[in-house]
Amino acid sequence: MFFGIEWDTSSNLAFALSILPILLIGLWVTIQATVLGFFIALILGLVLATLKSAPTRLISWPAKAITEFIRDTPLLVQLFFLYYVLPDYGIVLPAFLTGALALGVQYSAYTSEVYRAGLEAVAKGQHEAARALNLPSPRTFTHVILPQAIPRIIPALGNYLVSIMKDVPVLSVVTVLEMLNVATIIGDRTFNYLIPLSMVGGLYLILTLLASSGVRYIDVHLPKRGLSLK
């Protein structure tokens, strides 16, 4: 029994059907961790990208160093760091939040690069034309630069959403009951790992395919009006 749900070991099929609701609870946690982690990565990445493009090196250099550091250390190390070190400083977060935060921090290094690359890909001539027309800088950013950067940024961000989802099982090591953790616990208790783990694989496959096609849908239907993104 797990989450108050009994399993039925009379046959493989019955077992699979009986643990499906349990795995779906884990799946729901996986989705929540993905969405929250992605959200943190979007915001933190934007902050990092802004700092990195700051005109003074006093700000841009540390931001670049942080990005590089995050990128070059494994997610697991960051996760342990947050999980074991933060409480020493009086910050005690539930395992789920710590996990989502670790995902968000790790991926903020990538999203910040996506933002930066997207903005830099807009031709220099666009800035110059806007300046020659005396468009105010905020207007130039929101109406000239961003509309040309966003169609490049969104698909790349979408790919990281899928990556985050596939990294969620790492959170099982700090007791987050995401789908993989749930499956191994079922395996521990029933001595049948094959079925729950296969189901995790299957559910992940479905989830990834759905997310990828969602990303592709957005990519195709994103208004690109006149932009060629070669």
Calpha distance 207→192 (Å, rounded): 24
Q: How far is the CB of 221 from another protein (least distance, A)?
A: 16
- Asked if residue 149 binds another protein (CB under 8 A), the reply is no
Calpha distance 52→44 (Å, rounded): 12
Which residue reads 């009951």 in tokens? Answer: 177
Q: Which is nearer to another protein, 106 or 148 (CB)?
A: 148
Which listed range, 5-13, 80-88, 206-214, 220-228, lies at the site for another protein (CB under 8 A)?
220-228
Which residue reads 């070669």 in tokens? Answer: 230
- Asked if residue 139 binds another protein (CB under 8 A), the reply is yes
- Asked if residue 120 binds another protein (CB under 8 A), the reply is no
Of 41, 46, 67, 63, which is closest to residue 146 (Cα–Cα)? 46
In degrees and rounded to multiples of 5, residue 217 shows phi and psi of -60, -45
Which listed range, 40-48, 68-76, 118-126, 213-221, lies at the site for another protein (CB under 8 A)?
118-126
- Asked if residue 133 binds another protein (CB under 8 A), the reply is yes
- Applying CB under 8 A, which of residues 57, 125, 194, 230 lies at the interface with another protein? 125
Instruction: Please check whether residue 186 is in contact with residue 3, taking contact to mean a CB–CB distance below 8 angstroms.
Output: no
Instruction: Specify the 3-state DSSP secondary structure of 159.
Output: helix
Q: Which is nearer to another protein, 34 or 148 (CB)?
A: 148
- Asked if residue 221 binds another protein (CB under 8 A), the reply is no
- Applying CB under 8 A, which of residues 143, 175, 202, 213 lies at the interface with another protein? 143
- Asked if residue 128 binds another protein (CB under 8 A), the reply is yes
**Residues 27-66: x where in contact with another protein by CB under 8 A, - otherwise, as a string:** ----------------------------------------
The stretches of the chain forming alpha helices (DSSP H) are 12-52, 57-72, 75-80, 95-120, 124-132, 137-139, 146-167, 179-190, 194-221
- Asked if residue 188 binds another protein (CB under 8 A), the reply is no
- Applying CB under 8 A, which of residues 135, 156, 173, 197 lies at the interface with another protein? 135
Calpha distance 219→158 (Å, rounded): 9
Instruction: Specify the 3-state DSSP secondary structure of 223.
Output: coil
Contacting residues toward another protein, per CB under 8 A: 123, 125-126, 128-136, 139, 143-144, 147-148, 224-228
